[in-house]
Structure 1
């Protein structure tokens, strides 16, 4: 089968399109023909080996040679202990806990990581959901305890997590403010944001507005700046950001929470098929639609990752295995 592989940390130049052996499912695994896979910031971090924590399990070289955690495809074989799925069914899921491997024509995954794909959902839409939508759901619902009528601010609202977060918050009945660059503001309004702030033109931490819940996808401001715009008994949830900012929230957040009754914490990524199903139900109800910025063929995973790394993505970047590739690349 064809796959994008890498054997050392570095830029997108270390990625190669290669012919590798098709995997065989273990007793509790499902073999999936991948139709689509989405690109996440975690792929970008694992490619570069930065921040250093991304090297856990692979200090000198990558633990997994094929990136890609969010996949959607068709079951072609199952292990003898698999109960939920059978060949011919369409599924999607986050396989980061199953060895990665989504940037390939076939991949094996544990059945517990998967959800059935509804017929009304394309493979590209399904691949866009697992990590980003689940992070948005867990950040707002579980960590942030969002309620109807809450004033919610989403910093980094134009990316994968942010676009799902806006739509989920609106489905709950919250009033949502999205923060991002100029080029993304129109899109933020189109998916339901009540207010938008261009961070290149305005400092949202000095506008005087306070919020019940802040979902921070980029982590580019200090914990004290966020504290200032957080209401009493409000919640600040950090989803992404630099290690310095993460450590600041981890170590100083509890003290602020105790003294000022403002909850501040970091969301830990927890793949969850039940949460995937929740987002699937919202999709079927017309309340959440994956925003897909660009499609790339398998051979152009390096370009897709490079585009993601530039930080200009509107929603998700998706790899479509059947996407037309005019370059007709040679495989190593």
Structure 2
């Protein structure tokens, strides 16, 4: 653990005393530099950002000039991935545009679980998938960080949702509102006779031809996670499939967005979405936290408290 100077907020920045943060896939990419292509953004030979950590929750301790949205003492949460990271620390200076007011009905730990994963799910479902009420959605990896939010957001937007998970995660997937749950240990979902209007791949390792077969003739597939093979197939072959068919096969990369975060905040306060936490570690246990996260079997989010 290293000591650094306490940051000072600049123009339009606030100083947040961090209460909790969460681990996301981007943190692993930043630290390990894999896949190699990601080094163009995160640093060729060493990490470009000294302190990782994207999702945070905490209290505003100081404000810079021209800050309009927040005051000292406000409880906030946000995604720092587009403004220098730095969430795994006691304090971080953040542009006010990266934050929203913390939902009043959840804890700081729960709030830290939300920003990146929930906004990823929202943008994949609403923006890329263009989900309409009454449509049928399949979510592969429905018990993970993005997947648990995807199930709840799709339900909140009026969809019928089927989640694909392992046996031990069937109960939680039912609890968060999935209409149907496929246990991939017992059943090969790729042989499912059902067809879907939207498929979200939040995990998994399947050729995108499998997802194409499971789509309705005008359905949409969106890859937001899973194996490198699955991701690169969506990136490279998806446009070709889409060119010759009414089906759309998309890869997707989340972008931090304050208005989307505020939308999620409202869903949480309305009781339509609730973050799922698997484990909570202290900052002194951050190595163990990353080791557990990297195993890839977490149920919801892994949280770091300061």
Same fold (TM over 0.5): yes
What do the CA deviations read for 1:108-152 (whole angstroms, capped 9, x no partner)? 111111101133221112111100000010011111111122111
* Alpha carbons 1:219, 1:238 under 8 Å: kept: no
* Alpha carbons 1:217, 1:238 under 8 Å: kept: yes
Secondary structure of 2:137's counterpart equals strand
Match of 1:63 in 2: 48
User: Gaps spanning 5+ residues in structure 2: where?
Assistant: none
Q: How does 1:107-126 map to 2 (within 5 A)?
A: 107-126=92-111
Secondary structure of 2:303's counterpart equals strand
What do the CA deviations read for 1:217-270 (whole angstroms, capped 9, x no partner)? 125111111111110110000101344433322232222223221011111211
Q: Distance in 2 between matches of 1:169 and 1:131?
A: 17
Secondary structure of 1:282's counterpart equals helix
* Alpha carbons 1:166, 1:191 under 8 Å: kept: yes
Q: How does 1:53-132 map to 2 (within 5 A)?
A: 53-57=37-41, 58-132=43-117
- Alpha-carbon distance, 1:176 to partner: 0.9
Match of 1:313 in 2: 298
- Alpha-carbon distance, 1:196 to partner: 1.2
What do the CA deviations read for 1:131-183 (whole angstroms, capped 9, x no partner)? 00000100111111111221110011111110011111111221111112111
Match of 1:326 in 2: none
Q: How many pairs does the alignment contain? A: 305
User: Gaps spanning 5+ residues in structure 1: where?
Assistant: 1-16, 322-332
Q: Give the TM-score taking structure 1 as reference length.
A: 0.89
Q: How does 1:4-43 map to 2 (within 5 A)?
A: 17-43=1-27
User: Moved runs in structure 1, 4+ residues, more than 6 A?
Assistant: none
Q: Give the TM-score taking structure 2 as reference length.
A: 0.96
Question: Does residue 241 of structure 2 align to residue 256 of structure 1?
Answer: yes
Match of 2:28 in 1: 44
What do the CA deviations read for 1:181-237 (whole angstroms, capped 9, x no partner)? 111111101111111112222221112211110000125111111111110110000
Q: Distance in 2 between matches of 1:35 and 1:259?
A: 50
Q: Distance in 2 between matches of 1:88 and 1:218?
A: 38
* Alpha carbons 1:32, 1:74 under 8 Å: kept: yes
Secondary structure of 2:237's counterpart equals helix
* Alpha carbons 2:133, 2:159 under 8 Å: kept: yes
Q: Distance in 1 between matches of 2:32 and 2:233?
A: 23
- Out of 171, 174, 179, the residue aligned to residue 189 of structure 1 is 174
Secondary structure of 1:313's counterpart equals coil
Q: How does 1:190-205 map to 2 (within 5 A)?
A: 190-205=175-190
Match of 1:10 in 2: none
Question: Does residue 145 of structure 2 align to residue 160 of structure 1?
Answer: yes
RMSD: 1.3
* Alpha carbons 1:293, 1:317 under 8 Å: kept: yes
- Out of 121, 124, 128, the residue aligned to residue 139 of structure 1 is 124
